[in-house]
């Protein structure tokens, strides 16, 4: 029979158990709540702050995008409004310039008509009448129909010379392509015997018609 095992001494058993367990110097590393464990564990507060920062940035992103989109839309609307206003101002300015130009032409045509009527010479009587008719239309032109030659004959026989000049003029009223212009004029009259020499003042109302850009006197009236 084999010899029975002799029990090991107690101090040897304790020593063996002690050798197989954790090293005495390493016990702090495995005890929960020890400084080593706390140092190795992740910082929960730091993680939470990082998550909150990411959430804030994620929320701020769409907000910034929305504000940027609104700003772009507002800027676009302002640009369109400014462009529309500029076009409107240019149109109004052009229209005002056109109206001013037309009004000036009304006055000029009326002045020319009065000058032609008050400037007649015996040796150019025929040409003078033709010049009057060239700028006449409507009722005013009809007054000369069939009377040109008799008028020329009277001027030549009388030997009267008149030279007109404009004193004042202005638009009395206007309606679309027609305007009534008041003209104050003076005609210096010369007769062969000198008996009727001297200035003659006249006031006339000339109705001027714009026919597609061609201005003519359609009616002439003497006014007190």
Q: Residue 165 in 3-state DSSP?
A: strand
Q: Which two tokens stand for residue 31?
A: 């005890």
- Complete DSSP assignment for 28-95: GGTSTTSHHHHHHS--HHHHHHHHHHHHHHHHHHHHHHHHHHHHHHHHHHHHHHHHHHHHHHHHHHHH
Q: Looking at residue 185, what is its pLDDT?
A: 97
Q: Looking at residue 145, what is its pLDDT?
A: 84
In total, the chain counts a number of residues equal to 224
Largest pairwise CA distance in the chain = 191
Q: Looking at residue 23, what is its pLDDT?
A: 47
Task: Tell how far CA 95 is from the center of its chain.
Answer: 13
Digitized pLDDT (tens) for each residue of the chain, 224 residues in all: 444 444 444 444 444 444 444 444 444 444 444 444 444 455 555 545 554 555 555 555 566 667 677 677 777 777 776 666 666 555 556 656 778 999 999 999 999 999 999 999 999 999 999 999 999 999 999 998 888 899 899 999 999 999 999 999 999 999 989 999 999 999 999 999 888 899 999 999 999 999 988 999 999 999 98
Residue 224: name the closest of 196, 199, 195, 204 by CA: 204
Q: What are phi and psi of 166, to 5 degrees?
A: -90, 130
Q: Looking at residue 111, what is its pLDDT?
A: 97
CA distance 118 to 113: 9
Query: What is the edge-to-edge ordering of all strands in the sheet holding 178-190?
Result: 161-175, 178-190, 198-211, 214-222
CB 132 within 8 A of CB 117: yes
């Amino acid at each position: 029979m084999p010899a029975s095992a002799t029990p090991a001494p107690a101090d040897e058993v304790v020593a063996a158990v002690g050798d197989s367990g954790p090293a005495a110097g390493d016990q702090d590393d495995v005890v929960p709540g020890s400084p080593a464990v706390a140092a190795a564990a992740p910082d929960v507060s730091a993680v939470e702050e990082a998550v909150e920062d990411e959430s804030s940035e994620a929320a701020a992103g769409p907000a910034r995008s929305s504000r940027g989109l609104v700003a772009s839309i507002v800027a676009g609307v302002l640009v369109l409004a400014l462009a529309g206003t500029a076009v409107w101002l240019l149109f109004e300015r052009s229209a005002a310039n056109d109206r001013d130009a037309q009004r000036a032409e009304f006055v000029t045509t009326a002045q020319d008509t009065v000058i032609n009527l008050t400037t007649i010479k015996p040796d150019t009587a025929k040409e003078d009448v033709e010049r009057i008719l060239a700028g006449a239309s409507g009722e005013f032109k009809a007054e000369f129909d069939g009377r040109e030659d008799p008028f020329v004959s009277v001027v030549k026989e009388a030997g009267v010379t008149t030279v007109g000049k404009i004193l004042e003029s202005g638009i009395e009223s206007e309606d679309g392509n027609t305007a009534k212009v008041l003209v104050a004029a003076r005609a210096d009259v010369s007769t062969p015997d000198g008996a009727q020499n001297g200035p003659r003042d006249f006031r006339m109302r000339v109705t001027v018609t714009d026919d597609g850009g061609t201005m003519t006197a359609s009616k002439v009236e003497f006014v007190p």
